[in-house]
Amino acid sequence: MPFRKDFLWGGATAANQCEGAYQEGGRGLANVDVVPHGKDRFPVSMGKLKMTELDNEHYYPALEAIDFYHHYKEDIALFGEMGFKTYRMSIAWSRIFPNGDEEEPNEEGLKFYEDVFKECHKYGIEPLVTITHFDCPMHLITEYGGWKNRKLIDFYKRLVTVLFTRYKGLVKYWLTFNEINMILHLPFMGAGLIIEEGENEEAVKYTAAHHELVASAWATKIAHEIDPENMVGCMLAAGNTYANTCAPEDVWKSMEKDRENYFFIDVQSRGAYPAYAIKELERKGIEIPFAEDDKEMLKNYTVDFISFSYYSSRLTSADPEVNKETAGNVFATLKNPYLKASEWGWQIDPLGLRITMNALYDRYQKPLFIVENGLGAKDELVNGFVEDDYRIDYLREHIKAMKDAVEIDGVDLLGYTSWGCIDLVSASTGEMSKRYGFIYVDKDDAGHGNLKRYKKKSFDWYKKVIASNGEDL
Ligand code: BG6
């Protein structure tokens, strides 16, 4: 049997994409709330368009999302029925500290997650908790400028201390920042950054990244001190970059592209800024604001495991003319003629998952955890059922590739949680129609629908995959 006996099969969601109830239980406003659906979504996410409050001209899908806040018992029961061993979810920071800088946490928010975790355990589901998944209390952005301000490290330390203390015994697996490398692409989501005129955008992003990296090291330290059983992971938006041709310049370019992403995990897992990044930052004239003990913190408190999302491989060329032709996805990539793509242009490459797993395992030699993978597709609900064979095909091929990485290549893998196990709001587009789930939720892109849940064909398929520990695909 390729997978460990205790392999953690499950599914993943994020608070801002499923919880809704944005004003309930004392929750404060967060960046993710003010990211609208429609043409302004991307500029806001990229920190290029300043939106810090709600208006009547836009539709904000996170405000209600799929209302997991009120449906969590029903949803977790469905996860339990599928046989989930783990459920990856995130904490909304502004439920615990509505403004982010209070001294005392909000009990109602803490209680909500305690109930959710207890509900998971009822079904033998181990929670896997992302501390920050693209969210930041709005007050920390308007008052402090988000993660570019070092003070955020202290607020984050306060947050994690509360979480690790309160949920000791209920939660063991923690991820510090979702897709930490996304800060370079969606800085408003990744770090609450709004790029002001005249600012050196890259310097702002790397300063914020430094603060997150240091905060992540602190979280690891605090987690282990509060409970030595705690396992803390980093989280990378992964997918190796291929060279467009075998021209050495293209190969070099693909290496540079991968390093943009590895940089974060090199720090979190190896404990120091890698040489290539130090040189590159120097060349660009970017000075990272290292405080006295930052280097020690990074060195002493590296992560226990490497988690990552994988949707696709990437492709690049050294020729700027060729590189203009990008395919879909947040990460700019060339169209790979050997691959098919989803309706959103995300290229489908199961073998790329095996390549990525091997690259990460070779580099870090720590257990891996695939915490996102899946196909965003348009589903048709007919008589209360969705025949989503395309989703089953996608997942089957990726699980096969991951099995090869474990069985043939010897990669140590802790678990697999497919993305959006229940339909939820898309992070990049704000759509509901970009569905990933085994469970269909009755809601459309304009916010209409009765939020009723329906099992798709993939529901029973995944149940069988879990029951057979990945043998019956
Ligand atoms: C990852 C994020 O980037 O990809 C998720 O961690 C996101 O939050 C997922 O939802 C899929 O992307 P999208 O844009 O299809 O929702």
- The reported pLDDT for the residue numbered 328 is 59
Ligand 1 closest atom vs CA 434: 15
Top mutation candidate among 312, 419, 429, 445 for ligand 1, by most atoms within 8 Å of CB: 419
- The reported pLDDT for the residue numbered 327 is 64
CATH no. of 8-467: 3.20.20.80
- The reported pLDDT for the residue numbered 426 is 98
Hey, what are 19's tokens? 């919880």
Whether 201 is catalytic is: no
C-alpha 456 to ligand 1 mean position (Å) = 20
C-alpha 426 to ligand 1 mean position (Å) = 6
Cβ–ligand 1 contact at 426 (below 6 Å)? yes
* Burial zone of 136 (CB within 10 Å; 0-12 exposed, 13-18 middle, 19+ buried): buried
- How far lies 53's CA from each of 37, 98, 139, 193, 195, in Å? 14, 15, 11, 15, 17
Ligand 1 closest atom vs CA 376: 15
C-beta separation of 36 from 44 below 8 A: yes
- The reported pLDDT for the residue numbered 78 is 98
Cβ–ligand 1 contact at 237 (below 6 Å)? yes
**pTM to 2 decimal places:** 0.98
What's the distance, Cα to Cα, between the start and end of the chain in Å? 14
C-alpha closest to that of 4 among 416, 333, 310, 295: 416
Whether 372 is catalytic is: yes
Q: Which is catalytic among the residues 126, 179, 212, 431? A: 179
| Domain range list for the chain | 8-467
Return per-residue pLDDT of the chain as tens, 473 residues: 789 999 999 999 999 999 999 999 999 999 999 999 999 999 999 999 999 999 999 999 999 999 999 999 999 999 999 999 999 999 999 999 999 999 999 999 999 999 999 999 999 999 999 999 999 999 999 999 999 999 999 999 999 999 999 999 999 999 999 999 999 999 999 999 999 999 999 999 999 999 999 999 999 999 999 999 999 999 999 999 999 999 999 999 999 999 999 999 999 999 999 999 999 999 999 999 999 999 999 999 999 999 999 999 999 999 988 887 666 567 789 999 999 999 999 999 999 999 999 999 999 999 999 999 999 999 999 999 999 999 999 999 999 999 999 999 999 999 999 999 999 999 999 999 999 999 999 999 999 999 999 999 999 999 999 999 999 99
- The reported pLDDT for the residue numbered 196 is 94
CA distance linking residue 391 with residue 436, whole number of Å = 8
In sequence order, what are the beta bridge partners of 232? 174
C-beta separation of 90 from 419 below 8 A: no
